[in-house]
Structure 1
Amino acid sequence: MNSTFVQFLGEFIGTFILILLGNGIVCAVSLKKTKAEGAGWIAIAFGWGLAVMLGVYSSSFMSEAHLNPAVTIGMALIGNISWSLVLPYIAGQFLGAMLASFILWLFYYPHWVETKDAAVILGCHSTGPAIRHFPSNFFGEVIGTMVLLIGILSFGRNHLADGLSPALVGGLITAIGFSLGATTGYSLNPARDLGPRIMHALLPIKNKGTSDWGYSWVPVLGPLVGGALGCLIFNSISPLIK
């Protein structure tokens, strides 16, 4: 197995690619005067699926390519990864997400200036609910992340061709986005939401408004609970399957 630093680097690079391309599609669709403005939810759902796939491919030869604290903690709970790697993995994930947000600020700089809607600007960084109803929003993030972890673990029980799993994970993310993502924007990943939200608060973005810290616990705690449940449920059922 690779050294701890190499695994940290894998999580950093993979999450950087994930957020650069994932939030990049949101910026392209949402910010004013881009050539993709108004392309809509279908573009976002497919774009995020591809972003996850490419993030995993770019890092899986260095680390486990979790790119998500909910995945890392869930896998540690069932013994699929050492607890000694949890903090290095999460550090890499958050730092990669934050750097990607900074690069996107530079990349789309004139389009941030043209965009006047503070909610749109925040949505290019972090998730937010279609209807603010904390119990429902929290439940949605739990269920979405639970499905994600059960799917990831299920792929490992199938006889897949080498290199196919990241593409299937990308497809799974697309399916979750279409079916379960429209209520909260499907964070599924504390680093994906909180890292860019911190950068939203720090960067001098014109017209940005607040970072909506009152909602920020939902896309952090919901995925952590959902990831743990998904791993524990799968781990409790899998011994029964020969």
Structure 2
Amino acid sequence: MTAYIFEFIGTGMLLLLGNGIVANAVLKGTKGSDSGWVGISLAWGIAVFVGVFISADVSGAHLNPAVTLGLASAGKFAWSLVPGYMLAQLLGAMTGTTLVWLTYKKQYDATEEQDALRATFCTSPAIRNPLWNFVSEAIGTFALVFGVFYIAGGTFSEKPISLGSLDALPVALLVMGIGFSLGGPTGYAINPARDLGPRIMHTLLPLKGKGSSDWGYAWIPILGPLAGGFLAALAFLWIGS
């Protein structure tokens, strides 16, 4: 139970700080409107660092269903724990993004652009093409999960692996690098909970003039990252075979 709680807390902090920078950058009436893509990518890296550092020594700091699936598929995490971890990550993402809404409540009230409002919750593609958006998310998540295997000290034995607090910085740098290099096509969800939880809250919260939550796109930042995480596990196993 403690591990689930820390997955919830870690993912909540991830979304609080990660979606917080997006809100600061795109909402009307903030003091961070000049942050831009560089600021967003840097802050998401910091968000990952904080989330991992808080939860690593208790839960292993997956903070991402694609990481959980990848580790389990490679035999490095118990399948029996997968549903609880994924639920904790989803609830943490929903909570973290709700705290962003509370923090920027007056800015949300002042912002009329529907795309900007939705961007502070979930991702959307720069050029909408379901196949290639899926491929982009899968590749970005492959890079993340494959890197996590080795950052976490992965070996080809049966021993489980997990992130420790000392791994927080390299994982944060990895996510930052993915944002700078691979994030342009889709806004790099690379995490089903990071996109689905906030998208649910965009639907539920009383945002003025919020428009559509774009549920037609929502399957891509869910299935794309899960596919990327699974492929990273297969690659890890193949290299060790």
**1:67 to partner: Cα distance:** 0.4
* One-letter amino acid matched to 2:197: G
Residue 185 of structure 2 corresponds to residue 183 of structure 1: yes
- Aligned twin of 1:237: 239
Note if contact 1:9-1:62 (Cα within 8 Å) is conserved in structure 2: no
**1:38 to partner: Cα distance:** 2.8
Give 1:100's match in structure 2, choosing from 75, 96, 103: 96
Taking every aligned residue pair, what percent have the same amino acid on both sides? 49
Residue 26 of structure 2 corresponds to residue 26 of structure 1: no
**1:154 to partner: Cα distance:** 1.8
Q: How does 1:9-20 map to 2 (within 5 A)?
A: 9-20=5-16
Hey, what's the Cα distance between the residues in 1 that align with 2:147 and 2:78? Answer: 21
Q: How does 1:97-176 map to 2 (within 5 A)?
A: 97-157=93-153, 163-176=165-178
5+ unaligned residues in a row in structure 2: which ranges?
A: 155-163
TM-score by length of 1: 0.93
Q: Which runs of 4+ in 1 moved over 3 A?
A: none
* One-letter amino acid matched to 2:118: L
Note if contact 2:7-2:88 (Cα within 8 Å) is conserved in structure 1: yes
Note if contact 2:52-2:165 (Cα within 8 Å) is conserved in structure 1: no
Hey, what's the Cα distance between the residues in 1 that align with 2:105 and 2:63? Answer: 26
What secondary structure sits across from 2:58 in the alignment? coil
Residue 83 of structure 2 corresponds to residue 81 of structure 1: no
Residue 50 of structure 2 corresponds to residue 69 of structure 1: no
What secondary structure sits across from 1:62 in the alignment? helix
Residue deviations 1:185-211 (CA, integer Å, cap 9, x gap): 000000000000000000000121010
Residue deviations 1:3-24 (CA, integer Å, cap 9, x gap): xx01100100000000000001
RMSD (Å) for aligned C-alpha atoms = 1.4
* One-letter amino acid matched to 2:182: L
Hey, what's the Cα distance between the residues in 1 that align with 2:71 and 2:134? Answer: 21
Note if contact 2:56-2:165 (Cα within 8 Å) is conserved in structure 1: no
Greater displacement, 20-29 / 163-172: 163-172
Greater displacement, 114-123 / 148-157: 148-157
Hey, what's the Cα distance between the residues in 2 that align with 1:169 and 1:58? Answer: 13
What secondary structure sits across from 1:87 in the alignment? helix
TM-score by length of 2: 0.94
Hey, what's the Cα distance between the residues in 2 that align with 1:31 and 1:191? Answer: 23
Residue 201 of structure 2 corresponds to residue 199 of structure 1: yes
What secondary structure sits across from 1:164 in the alignment? helix
What secondary structure sits across from 2:30 in the alignment? coil
Hey, what's the Cα distance between the residues in 2 that align with 1:147 and 1:102? Answer: 29
Note if contact 1:46-1:174 (Cα within 8 Å) is conserved in structure 2: yes
Residue deviations 1:9-47 (CA, integer Å, cap 9, x gap): 010000000000000110111111100013100000000
Residue deviations 1:141-183 (CA, integer Å, cap 9, x gap): 000000101111122348xxx7431100000000000000011
Hey, what's the Cα distance between the residues in 1 that align with 2:74 and 2:149? Answer: 11
5+ unaligned residues in a row in structure 1: which ranges?
A: none
Residue 215 of structure 2 corresponds to residue 219 of structure 1: no
Note if contact 2:15-2:97 (Cα within 8 Å) is conserved in structure 1: yes
